[in-house]
Each structure stands twice: as C-alpha cells, then as structure tokens.
Homo-oligomer: A and B are copies of this chain.
Amino acid sequence: MRNPYKKEEPSASALVQIIVRITSMRVHSIAIADPPLRSSYGLHSPYALRTILELESDDHIIGISETHGGDAIAAGFESLKSKIIGADPYSLCGSLLPMIEDDPHGTSLDRSQTYYVPGENPLDAAARLYSAIEIACLDLIGKTVGKPVCDLLGGRARNEVPFSAYLFYKHAGGGGEGSDARTNEDEYGEGLTPEAMVHQAKQMIAKYGFRDIKLKAGVLEPDLEIETIVRLRRAFGPQVPLRLDPNCAWSVETSIRIGDALKDELSGTGYLEDPTSSIDGMAAVRKGLLETGNRMPLASNVAVTSFADLPEAIEKDAVQIVLCDPHYWGGLRQVQHLGKLCRTFSLGLSMHSNSHLGVSLMAMAHAAAATPHLAYACDTHYPWQSEKDEVVAGGRVPIIDGCVRIPDKLGLGVELDHDQLARGRERYKNCPYRKRDDAAEMRKHVDPHWQRVLPRW
C-alpha cells in the first residue's frame, strides 16, 4: 500500500502499484414486501426479489450493489466467484468486459423483451451480472480512495438527480404475506379508477415533491387510461410532464388513437412509452402520429433493450427516447456510452426502474449524475417499498423536491444495515418466490384464466 509518489523525493524507477484485492464476495438474496401493482405483465407478487452483492477488499472495505432477485442471478454471481476473488477492483471490470462486449446470443434470440419481465430477459443476462459487479467495484474503489462514484466516472454533470412519480393501478393491500401483510400499511389504497390515480399522484407528490408523473398503463380499458391522463393534466397543469407506459398492451391502431387523444397531455417533456411491441410496431405508431402532425416522442425499454437494437431503431425512427437502466445495460459506464450515443443521434435518454431499495436508487442517481445527456427525470419504484424493508443503514434515502442529492459521502454513499439484510434473507427463505412471474400472480389473485395476450386492445 506504499505510494512512491508520496515520498519527499519520488524515485522514477521505483514505481510500485498500490494493490487492493477482493478477498470475499457475499451474495444476499432477499425478499421485500411489494404492493399488488398491476401492469400489462400481470400483477406484482406480495414480495419483490432483490439481490445485494458485497465485495470486500483486503483493506476490509466493502463495496455493495443491488440488482433484481431470484435464484438464477445468485447462481450467476457464484459461477463468477473464481474470477472475482483475488481480483483488483480496478481491473476486474476490464477483464470481464467480454461478457458484455461480445453479445453472447447474437441474432439467435428475438431482440426484444416483449414477453419477458425485466430481470428474466436472456438477452441481458450477462449485462445484469456485469452491472452489479461493476457497481460494487466502483463503490469499493470510491470508499477506498475517498470519492463518490460519479466522480470516479469523470465527474458529475448534476448534483441533484430528478426522479418521476410512478403511478400504478393497484388492488388494495400494502404488500407481503402473513404477518407482513397484516403490519404493512396500504399507504396508497386501491387504485383502479381515474379518480383514484389522481389521489395517488397527489399523495406521492406531497410526500416526495416529484415534478414529473408516469402512469403505468395497459391495465384498464384504453378510454379509462385516457381519462386518467386527462384528469392528471387537469389536476397538475401543463407544468408537470406526463408519461404513459402500457408495456406493449396496444395495437398500432390503438396506440395511434390514444396518442392522438392525448396529443396535448403527452407533449413537451412528456412521452408515450412502449405503446406497442417491436421496433416495427413502434415505427408504425410514430409514422401514424407524424401523419397527423403529432410529434409526441415515443420512449422504450422493451423494443430497445440493448446497444444492438439501436441501429435499426434509429434507422426506422421507432424510438425517440431510450430508457436506459444501469442494472440491465451493463453498468454505469455503459450508461455513459449510451448517453453519448443518444446525444449524437438526437435521441432523448431517460431511465427505467424496477422495485428496488436504496442501494439501487443511489446507483441510479450516480449514473444520472455522471451522464450529462440524462436530463429526463428517472423512473423509480422507491415510493412503493417500505421503510421496514430498507437495507441501507440509517433508513431510506431521502427524495426531496423530487430529487436525490448526490451526498458528500464515499462510493455510492450508502452502507448496509446487516440486521435488515438478515431480515430480508429470512423472508426470501420463507417465501415461495424464486423468480418474477407476474402472470402467475394474476391467475392466482385476479383471473384464473389470465394470459398475457398482446396486443390486448
């Protein structure tokens, strides 16, 4: 650990590297209560699954990251253990780069996650593993050298990262099963009507100060979802940008009809996200909208899920805003690459989210801080998770005026509460869920014959 440059008379010939090695890896599969949120994928199960990765150095400094949960990703980390233990956290990401540089599937898989819930898409399986390792290494490095992660990535373009209110149609219930279900407050109550969603938005904005609103759609009849957006616009005014995301539930014709009905409401810095499936479907919607002079941008995290999708999407003008996600696109540096690419091709850049805790929230905030082009407010499910399940020491990360502030702390800026982590592991052990399956939950609780048929309308 001696740095020859710090001697009084540095010797040019005696340059010795300061070596930090990763000496242990711990993978924590946890379950966190999740309310019965609806989407075109189906229904959220009572627990969302997450994975917390810890990489510890021989200096006893611990780097952490969070990603989606289940047995498959935990096994993925274990399979890489021999490459991780003993590695220098600075060079590990370089040595693992072939995982994400060479698309392991090439053209052998359908290039879309239309029919996969996020976290279960085989196209980005390697990128998801890589991301979590990169983020934990960056946290470890930041805590070792005394810097926030965004500054390790070239410095920050912003100190405050805006997030968006994320509304969901939902059944009554606060998440969890058994004693969890009994003690978890149903903070937002049932939300299955346009009126209820305005109430949900008011509650969420009052608590967090969000300045953008996203509605997860593809759940009710299209006219009710149109009405929801119209009521939100009436309640919050044109200064609050609105986003609508039915996760491919609509046909091209329905998408154009809804886009035209909401031309004013989704204009400006709002957008229509994944109204229909596939690059060709999105291009057809765009074409149809443009024919009536409707320049509403289309955003996507379904038609476009990786760099390999971009050339075709750009050529066909299928997507005007890419929704990145550091968990799925290969980590924070890949999000920076994507940001420059989007800027170069005049595409917007926003950020996708899944149910998550504070470690992921901070990784998302650092990614956005270090990516100048990421100017849209990021999505976050954070309001749907409970303080009771937070694994971050000191409790939940504050969202103030809709923003997460990059703290004057090292690495990601958060550490683990090991009692809370143990509680999450215990829940994981005791709950029956091992991967995300929203369709199965839908059949169990809402309609025993439910299938995810696309387009539904």
Point out residues on A near B: beta carbons under 8 Å.
3-6, 10, 12-13, 15-19, 59-61, 88, 90-98, 101, 134, 143-148, 150-152, 154-157, 307-308, 310-311, 333-334, 336-338, 340-341, 343-346, 370, 372-373, 393-394, 408-410, 413, 415
Contacts and interface: CB of A to CB of B under 8 A. Distances in A.
Contacts of A18: 145-147
Nearest to A156: B94
Most chain B beta-carbon contacts within 10 A, residue among A5, A6, A93, A409: A5
A13 B311 CA distance: 47
Contact of A311 (B134, B345, B413): B345
A124 to B, nearest CB: 15
A158 to B, nearest CB: 9
A28 B128 CA distance: 46
Contacts of A334: 340
Contacts of A90: 147, 151-152, 155
Most chain B beta-carbon contacts within 10 A, residue among A15, A310, A370, A415: A15
Contacts of A311: 344-346
B94 A5 contact: no
Nearest to A92: B155
A372 B146 contact: no
Most chain B beta-carbon contacts within 10 A, residue among A147, A307, A338, A413: A147
Given A143-B5, A144-B3, A155-B94, A340 B337 contact: yes
Given A91-B156, A97-B157, 7 more contacts: A3-B144, A4-B410, A18-B147, A94-B157, A96-B155, A101-B157, A311-B344
A98 B373 CA distance: 11
A372 B334 CA distance: 13
Contacts of A345: 310-311
A101 B17 contact: no
B155 A17 contact: no
A89 to B, nearest CB: 9
Nearest to A315: B315
29 contacts: A4-B410, A5-B61, A5-B143, A6-B60, A6-B61, A12-B394, A15-B408, A15-B413, A16-B146, A17-B146, A18-B146, A90-B147, A94-B150, A94-B151, A94-B154, A94-B155, A94-B157, A96-B155, A97-B154, A97-B157, A101-B372, A152-B152, A307-B340, A307-B344, A311-B345, A333-B336, A334-B340, A336-B337, A337-B337
A17 B410 contact: yes
B336 A94 contact: no
Nearest to A331: B154
Contacts of A143: 3, 5
Contact of A341 (B93, B97, B337): B337
A140 to B, nearest CB: 10
A412 to B, nearest CB: 11
A3 B146 contact: yes
Nearest to A408: B17
A336 B153 CA distance: 12
Nearest to A407: B15
A421 to B, nearest CB: 14
B59 A6 contact: yes
A39 B253 CA distance: 59
Given A144-B3, A308-B344, A155 B97 contact: yes
A79 B335 CA distance: 32
Contact of A12 (B147, B340, B415): B415
Contacts of A59: 5-6
Nearest to A7: B60
Nearest to A141: B145
A147 B147 CA distance: 15
